[in-house]
Amino acid sequence: MQHATQPHLSPHAKGLALAVTGVLVLSPDSLLIRLIDADPWSLLFWRGLMSSCALSLYLLATVGPQGLIRITRVGLAGLATAVLFALNTSLFVVSVRHTAVANTLVLLSVSPLFGAIFSSLFLREHAPPRTWIATFVCIGAIGYIMAEGMGRATLIGDSAALGVALTMASILTLLRARRASDAIAIVTLSGLLLALVMLPFAAPFSLAGASWIYMGTLGLIVIPLSFALTLSAPKYLPAPEVGLIFLLETILGPILVWGVVGEEPPPATLLGGGVLIATLSLHAVLSLKRGRRE
């Protein structure tokens, strides 16, 4: 009797699945930040603490007490990544609170370009031509969006968004350089560090009503699940390709905010976003075919 062969998922396909699923889970992030009625310090405190607790429970449930010990063994590179991730989270919240969500996510979209540059400089890992072509097409679309809509953005929000792009590219490059890094342990540590830093400035129990529901959804589900997935992807994909997939949030985030709170993106954002989605889809298909041949 012959056993049916199980389909083999190549490392490249596994990386794509992790990154895309993680970004889809992350897409309500901006909306939830807008819905939570709290000062930024309190929001960041609960965001860090809740995500750290959720991931700690996951580690306990899957690998037992040894899972918590892993948090203390991430090493110097893991600690640097955790600090960068905490900074990335803080800058993202600042940006969403000081400019339009569409502007935040559009500026965040330059992270693939930074990722490609960092990988070339520090890892000697040159991206294939398809990644460079897709990146520059996306940058062109972003430029078009910015030319039409940036007049409404504030300097603080825009600068913070560029900081998010730089730190995310750095995080993905570090994880790619050390593929054995424990992404879940790093995100858990990052949340704890963020909560400790924000505690002196926060008023944790100032939240009321529905804000607790939104905060719980963000801190206990969206953040831990999405980043555990996306930060595992660089084990299988080059950092520029993971960063490119993050562009999906550039479209999904503003659409959710538009539908729920009525913050309508300008027409240029919708048109440029269509170009981004088409480019990402084509790039993903070509990457998947290439990964199957390798």
pLDDT in tens, 2-18: 444 445 667 878 888 88
180: its two tokens: 């054995």
Please give the span between the terminal C-alpha atoms of the chain, in angstroms, as a whole number: 31
Distances (CA, A) of 271 to 35, 135, 152, 178, 205: 26, 17, 18, 38, 42
255: pLDDT strictly greater than 90 = no
Q: Among 73-82, 110-119, 250-259, where is mean pLDDT lowest?
A: 110-119
Look over the chain and give the mean of its residue pLDDT values, rounded to a whole number: 82
Residue 290 pLDDT grade (very low, low, confident, very high; cuts 50, 70, 90): low
Q: Which pLDDT belongs to residue 1?
A: 45
Query: Looking at the domain assignment, is residue 17 inside a domain?
Result: no
180: pLDDT strictly greater than 60 = no
Query: Looking at the domain assignment, is residue 144 inside a domain?
Result: yes
pLDDT tens-place string over residues 81-93: 999 999 999 999 9
259: pLDDT strictly greater than 50 = yes
How much of the chain exceeds pLDDT 90, in percent? 30
Query: Looking at the domain assignment, is residue 5 inside a domain?
Result: no
Q: Which pLDDT belongs to residue 10?
A: 79
More confident residue, 72 or 148: 72
pLDDT tens-place string over residues 22-51: 989 999 999 999 999 999 999 999 999 999
Query: Looking at the domain assignment, is residue 178 inside a domain?
Result: yes
Query: Looking at the domain assignment, is residue 14 inside a domain?
Result: no
Q: How many CA atoms lie within 13 A of 104 on its CB side?
A: 28
Q: Check residue 150 and report its DSSP letter.
A: G
Q: Which pLDDT belongs to residue 126?
A: 73
Domain hosting 276: range is: 22-293
Q: Which pLDDT belongs to residue 121?
A: 76
Query: Looking at the domain assignment, is residue 9 inside a domain?
Result: no
Distances (CA, A) of 205 to 35, 39, 199, 238: 17, 11, 12, 42
Query: Looking at the domain assignment, is residue 11 inside a domain?
Result: no
Q: How many domains does one find in the chain? A: 1
Query: Looking at the domain assignment, is residue 8 inside a domain?
Result: no
Cα 260 from Cα 100, distance rounded (Å): 14
58: pLDDT strictly greater than 80 = yes
More confident residue, 20 or 120: 20
pLDDT tens-place string over residues 162-174: 899 899 888 878 8
Tell me the helix, strand and coil percentages in the chain, rounded to 5. 80, 0, 20
